[in-house]
Structure 1
Amino acid sequence: MTRTIPGFDYHRVPVADEVALTAAVAGSGTPIVLLHGFPQTHLMWRHVAADLAAEHTVIVPDLRGYGDSDKPAAVHPDVYSKRTMAADIVTLAQTFGHDRFALAGHDRGALVALRAGLDHPDAVTHLACLDVLPTLDMWEVLHGATAAVGFHLYLMAQPPGLPEQMIAASADAFFAYFLDQWVKDPAAIPAAVRAAYLDACRDAVPSIVADYRASATIDIDHDRADRAAGTRLSMPVTVMQQDWGAALGYEAAALWSSWAPNLDHRTVDAGHFMAEEDPLAVAAALRDLVQR
């Protein structure tokens, strides 16, 4: 089963008490850290990472709670807050000798990347977020029947117990649903990679649910505090998104601009898994970003 990116070295890196991340590293030059989304692992970056490694040091971890990284029990809400997960990534980069680095995230990883940019502006030099809205904005735009597209958000926001039981009872069908529904080009996720994603998710149901539950609770609190304080992203920011605004009734660029004054917002034709469906465009956007 495909679980690694060819040409990358793998490391286990302690980032917090009793939590270590598994990270793939290759290349040399200015550092870029790539964070995966749901329901995936670091493998989603395999094409983009190999491309960027020609001129950058590329660090591609599995997030806390995913893949081959540790999955601590969610004994309190902060265990899977994006603030905690962002701190993991800053520590990871520092362990490899990088106090400052560019950071790109997709989906869940984009929320971690956004929080890292807000909490650690001296560390994150450039920020890219792929196909997501900031947590607070996401909950504010979901309403009525159109919110059905985010049914999983509401399911995993419920108190511990029932969501974990329901998902674990049919894990492959649950996670495969998103791989099937959110992709425009199914060939972009080969069978071996798809199997690796399902295998990883099957073994991580409690931590994945805890990650999503945090986004319905403590992550909102952190975003609200930043909005009230006027905290904004100080670094150049690139956002790549599908055009969901017409269906859900929002202007994505306007929402992002409220957080990111130095914003390059791009609407793309690929499906949600754009780093696999159109890796050349994603790599080009990241190269453009780090030159700003």
Structure 2
Amino acid sequence: MTTTIPGFDYLRVPVDEDVTLNVAAGGSGSPIVLLHGFPQTHLMWRHVAVDLAADHTVICPDLRGYGASDKPAARDADTYAKRTMAADIVALARELGHERFALAGHDRGALVAVRAGLDHPDAISHLAALDVLPTLDMWDILHGASAAVAFHLYLMAQPPGLPEQMISASADAFFGHFLDVWAQNPQAIPADVRAEYLRASREAVPSIVADYRASAGVDIEHDRADRAAGNLLAMPVAVVQQDWGAALGYDAAALWRAWAPNLEHHTTSAGHFMAEEAPTEIIKVLRSLLLR
């Protein structure tokens, strides 16, 4: 069963007083941290990580609340704020001896990466975001019937109780739905990896919901404060997205450029799970970014 990245060591790394992350690490050279999305674990990087490890130190954690990492109860809005999760990643890198590192994230992990770039600019040398928009822009462009594609954002934004109960009652169907409809090539996620994603998500419903709930609240507040202050992602940034703009009526590259003036924006024909569906394409983008 494919539950580890071949050739990588597995570590438990404390990053906060009540949070230890499950981490796969391999390779040597300049460091890059890879953050997974929903409803996945660090395993989504298995192809990309092995390639990059030929000449980079590659660090693939499960985010707090996901996979085999700790899942603290959401005591307040900040427990799963992207600011808190970004601080986890900076602390993780430092625990492993890296004060400055490149950072790439997919989906939820990309939101954490963006927050890390805004909050810790001295620590992040390069930043990549796969198939997501910054939180503030995401909520701004969702409207009318087109917002139905993001029904899960609205469900998990509700107060604690009902979303957790509804999702837990049919967890495999809920999480499996996204694995099915967001993939252009379902074979890119083999049965054993899919089973691992479903198992991990089934065991993490409260923390996953808390992560999404934060993005409908405190994360928006943090983005608004940065926009008002004129804070930008000053490091080289690469973004890879599906062609959402054509369907939803907005210019994705322009939205990103307002946050990241040193931007390379790419549109892919792969599905949402592009690091698994088109790993060669993603490796090329990341290697190009690291040379900037």
TM score, norm. by length of structure 2: 1.00
Q: How does 1:227-246 map to 2 (within 5 A)?
A: 227-246=227-246
Deviation at 1:2, TM superposition (A): 2.6
1:133 and 2:103 aligned: no
Give the match for residue 15 of structure 1: 15
Two-structure CA RMSD over aligned residues (Å): 0.4
- Opposite residue 283 of structure 2, the aligned amino acid is A
Moved over 4 A (4+): none
| Residues in 1 aligned to 2:241 and 2:193: alpha-carbon distance in whole angstroms | 23
- Opposite residue 138 of structure 1, the aligned amino acid is M
1:269 and 2:278 aligned: no
| Residues in 2 aligned to 1:240 and 1:33: alpha-carbon distance in whole angstroms | 17
| Residues in 1 aligned to 2:259 and 2:100: alpha-carbon distance in whole angstroms | 21
Give the match for residue 255 of structure 1: 255
Deviation at 1:3, TM superposition (A): 1.7
| Residues in 2 aligned to 1:109 and 1:29: alpha-carbon distance in whole angstroms | 23
- Opposite residue 146 of structure 2, the aligned amino acid is T
- Opposite residue 105 of structure 2, the aligned amino acid is G
| Residues in 2 aligned to 1:251 and 1:177: alpha-carbon distance in whole angstroms | 27
Deviation at 1:275, TM superposition (A): 0.1
The superposition leaves residues 134-191 of structure 1 with CA deviations (integer Å, 9 ceiling, x where unpaired) of: 0000000000000000000000000000000000000000000000000000110000
- Opposite residue 98 of structure 1, the aligned amino acid is H
| Structure 1 residues not aligned, in runs of 5+ | none
- Opposite residue 54 of structure 1, the aligned amino acid is A
| Structure 2 residues not aligned, in runs of 5+ | none
| Residues in 1 aligned to 2:215 and 2:222: alpha-carbon distance in whole angstroms | 10
Give the match for residue 102 of structure 1: 102
Deviation at 1:74, TM superposition (A): 0.3
TM score, norm. by length of structure 1: 1.00
Percent identity over paired residues? 76
The superposition leaves residues 234-274 of structure 1 with CA deviations (integer Å, 9 ceiling, x where unpaired) of: 10000000001111111000000000000000000100000
The superposition leaves residues 43-75 of structure 1 with CA deviations (integer Å, 9 ceiling, x where unpaired) of: 000000000000000000000000000000001
Give the match for residue 57 of structure 1: 57
Q: What SS does structure 1 have at the residue aligned with 2:83? A: helix
Q: What SS does structure 2 have at the residue aligned with 1:79? A: coil
Give the match for residue 148 of structure 1: 148
Deviation at 1:6, TM superposition (A): 1.1
Give the match for residue 162 of structure 2: 162
- Opposite residue 239 of structure 1, the aligned amino acid is V
- Opposite residue 4 of structure 1, the aligned amino acid is T
| Residues in 2 aligned to 1:237 and 1:6: alpha-carbon distance in whole angstroms | 28
Give the match for residue 78 of structure 1: 78
Give the match for residue 173 of structure 1: 173
| Residues in 1 aligned to 2:17 and 2:157: alpha-carbon distance in whole angstroms | 26
Give the match for residue 195 of structure 1: 195
Q: What SS does structure 1 have at the residue aligned with 2:66? A: coil
